[in-house]
Amino acid sequence: MKIMTPFFSVLIPIYNVEEYLKQCLDSLINQTLENIQIICINDGSTDNCPSILEEYSYRDSRITVLNHENSGYGFSLNRGLQYAQADYISIIEPDDFLEANAYESFYKDTQNFPQTDIIKYAYWNFHETNAEKIITPSNSASLTLPEKTFKISQYPQLLLYHPSIWSCVYKTSFIKEYKLSFIEAPGAAWTDNPFFISSMCLAHNILWKNKKVYYYRQGHVTASSNLKNCQIPIRRLIEIFDFLKEYNIDDFGILLCIYKRAFHYINIVRDHNNYRQTEIEPLIQKILEQLDPNIVYTELFSIHEQNIMREYSKEKGGHL
């Protein structure tokens, strides 16, 4: 099947997911909307993924396969962005899958709201055992917002949820206008976080939908939530705060939600078995120095969060 002018470019960053890749690809090639470009970026997989990709690209000419040595999630997606030809871009994780009418639904939303830079969708968690398949709504699936476009400053609570950059449709011209790209680091490396924050903060028109079309597989070993290096989430936070400074973002609601995310990640790191205090403490200090105490020392933050702020203030001998 040859589609000359795709309406969506679908990016799939792939690394050692042979067990699930066929289900992902099947959910794409069987979409009711056929007008899609499928870009599979193979990040040096050492399992059977290359053979699966060769098989599927032979069967369906909409599939383009890009191969390179293992360079990480961010590098793969940046390469995919370079090959995107459509007016809209989406990302799907190679161990996830979609309802057959997902892109038809996405298409209708883009036509009904043509000014939209980002359409963000809720997603459903998928957990599979030997005995059963369990589908549950994500935390964001219960969120209901007005059927209209908005800036993130109007509904900053979206920044509290999982980044889920793959449950979005992005206007290609928006990506290009702001030169949005991913941090390039080894592995998954939480690179979705800075992209999530920067794209949401820069978008002039966001649309929220809680349609049940995207299924997120929980518990896969390549998920970015499997933390091995405790510096990674903290370094991503530093990059987020660098972005806020560069674009002079000082909206109270946005800062509140990003501060909440920062404390959450700091707690994850400090409670982790791989935590190395001497390596991580200076990085945490760098983040907390950028938090406005007039926001943190209010009833909006827990005593525990405020105590973290005080703890690092005492270590520095200052007044964070």
Quick: pLDDT tens for 193-213.
999 999 999 999 999 999 999
Which secondary structure element, helix H or strand E, spans residue 203, and what is its range? none
Residue type, 262: A
Q: pLDDT at residue 293 above 60? A: yes
More confident residue, 320 or 306: 306
Dihedrals phi, psi of 307, to nearest 5 degrees: -65, -35
Residue 35: phi, psi to the nearest 5? -80, 65
Q: Give me the CATH code for the 8-217 domain, please.
A: 3.90.550.10
Give the closest residue to 20 by CA, choosing from 93, 129, 75, 87: 93
Query: SS3 breakdown of the chain: % helix, strand, coil, rounded to 5?
Result: 40, 15, 40
Residue 155 tokens read as 């509904």
What pLDDT, in 10s, does the model give residues 99-131? 999 999 999 999 999 999 999 999 999 998 887
Tokens 């926001």 identify what position? 295
Phi, psi of 247 (to 5 degrees): -100, 10
Contact call for residues 276 and 230 (beta carbons, < 8 A):
yes
Q: Say how far apart CA 215 and CA 208 lie, in whole Å.
A: 17
> pLDDT tens for residues 48-64?
999 999 999 999 999 99
User: What confidence score (pLDDT) does residue 319 get?
Assistant: 47
- Which sequence spans correspond to the domains of the chain? 8-217, 231-316
Q: What percent of the chain has pLDDT over 90?
A: 83
